Structure 1
Amino acid sequence: MSIVQAEILEPYAQALMSVAQEHNLTDAIGEDMRGIIEVLKNSEDLQQVLSNPFIKDQAKKDILGQIMGEGVQHFTRNFVMLLVDRRRAIFLEGIAQQYLALLRKLNQTVLAEVTSAVELNDGQKDAIRDKVRAISSARDVELDTKIDPEIIGGVIIKVGSQVLDASLRGQLRRIGISLSSV
């Protein structure tokens, strides 16, 4: 665990989780956090605004308030504004990720990072969830999917430190290794 994670991300995520549990909103705030992560990943401009010390806090709050709209829990909104007040807005994505990690732990859910050559359909996603449930004995599986055409076909599934490489590129690499050892 990095120093930033231990000293900043973890305490804020724990505090938000405490509020969420107290008000029985852990999953709802989890959805808010997923939305925030998605917006931040897709907007480099927003990331630059949040990290810029010359942009006034009120301007950051106004921008974040507009982005969040009325669809988020008021605890989420208050929490995000608190981060701006404490000059921690730059850590918003990391804190949101840490909150989701705590939520997965609470719900006995594992995160499977799935890389495929093409978009997966619902049936394929369900099959991957079943496979991950079987190998991890988790109650539920959350998928984080990425597309990488360079793997040619198949999937690469990463759960924690375990990697299951069922990609065509991986199979070709293994064949190449076995041929070179002959």
Structure 2
Amino acid sequence: MTSRNIKLALPYAEALLDITTKEGSLDKVINDLTSLSTTLSDSSDLKKALANPTLSSVTKKEIIKSVFKDTVSNTMIKFLMVLADRGRIAYLADVIEIALELAYKKASIQIAYVSSSLELTSSQEEALIERLQKMTGASQIKLKLSVDNSLLGGFIVQVGSKIIDNSVKGQLRQLSAYLGASVV
């Protein structure tokens, strides 16, 4: 996300969170935002349609209603209509991402970005969540998982500004720095 997108998306994300939390629980808002995010990430056609400048806002609003009417609250639908009317619906993914971060922060949920060499099993995820909760003191941890084949083995976790590099590549980098050599 570029700084321009953040500048455009932040006020809308803050307004969305303000409006939706007044009308419902924070958990419902997080569920709606997660549902929107999942739908957008699963459908490249939907993203393209919403970002298409040749489609009218009326057409985009019809698309929004048909896709999201059964999955999110009416308040969320109304907000999406406002974005379409103002020509900002193309920034929906950025608005959702920022709104989710703000909602997690408000709900005391810490986001941990995990890059691993292989997909983690559910028991590994649970163990990681427990350790991160102890380490950060957060009541809840939400994992954002990705697989990075360049790691060779292990994982890298970023929670806030703290980075835990438990990868083979990171250990090789540390060893080479200690020995004064360079690593690929």
TM-score (norm 2): 0.88
* SS at 2:72 equivalent: coil
Q: Is residue 102 from structure 1 mapped to residue 93 from structure 2 by the alignment? A: no
Aligned counterparts of 1:84 and 1:28: Cα–Cα separation in 2? 23
Aligned to 1:139: 139
Q: Distance in 1 between matches of 2:165 and 2:66?
A: 42
How many angstroms does 1:146 deviate by? 0.4
Cα deviation 1:47-84 (Å, max 9, x = unaligned): 23222221111221222223224121111111111110
In 2, distance between residues paired with 1:161 and 1:80? 32
Residue pairs, 1:67-82, within 5 angstroms: 67-82=67-82
Provide the rounded CA distance (Å) in 2 between the counterparts of 1:87 and 1:4.
14
Describe the SS at the equivalent of 2:155. strand
Letter in 2 for 1:11: P
Provide Cα deviations, 1:11-60, integer angstroms capped at 9, x if missing partner.
21222212222122322121221222223234333323222221111221
My pick for the range that moved more, 31-40 or 90-99, is: 31-40
Q: For each residue in 1:107-160, what CA deviation from the matched residue of structure 2 results, as whole angstroms up to 9, or x when unmatched?
A: 111110001111111211112112222222211111100011221211110112
Query: Any conservation in 1 of the 2:21–2:29 contact (CA below 8 Å)?
Result: no
TM superposition shift of 1:4: 4.2
CA distance in 1, matches of 2:73, 2:97: 17
Superposed, 1:141-160 pairs within 5 Å as: 141-160=141-160
Structure 1 stretches lacking a partner, 5+ long: none
CA distance in 2, matches of 1:15, 1:162: 29
CA distance in 2, matches of 1:153, 1:146: 13
Matched length:
180
Gaps of 5+ in 2: none
Is 2:5–2:91's contact at 8 Å kept on the other side of the alignment? no
Shift of 1:167: 0.9
Q: Which residue of 1 aligns with 2:39?
A: 39
Deviation at 1:103, TM superposition (A): 1.0
Identity percentage of aligned residues? 29
TM-score norm. by structure 1 comes to: 0.89
Q: Which residue of 2 is the match for residue 54 of structure 1?
A: 54
In 2: Cα distance, 1:39 partner to 1:71 partner: 10
**In structure 2, distance between residues paired with 1:146 and 1:166:** 15
State how far apart, in whole Å, the 1-side matches of 2:69 and 2:75 are: 13
The CA distance in 1 between the partners of 2:33 and 2:40, in whole Å, is 11
Q: Which amino acid aligns with 1:75?
A: T
Write out per-residue CA displacement over residues 81-118 of structure 1, whole angstroms, 9 at most, x where no aligned residue.
Answer: 11101111011111111111111111111110001111
Within-5 A mapping of 1:156-167:
156-167=156-167
Aligned to 1:5: 6
Secondary structure class of the residue paired with 2:138: coil
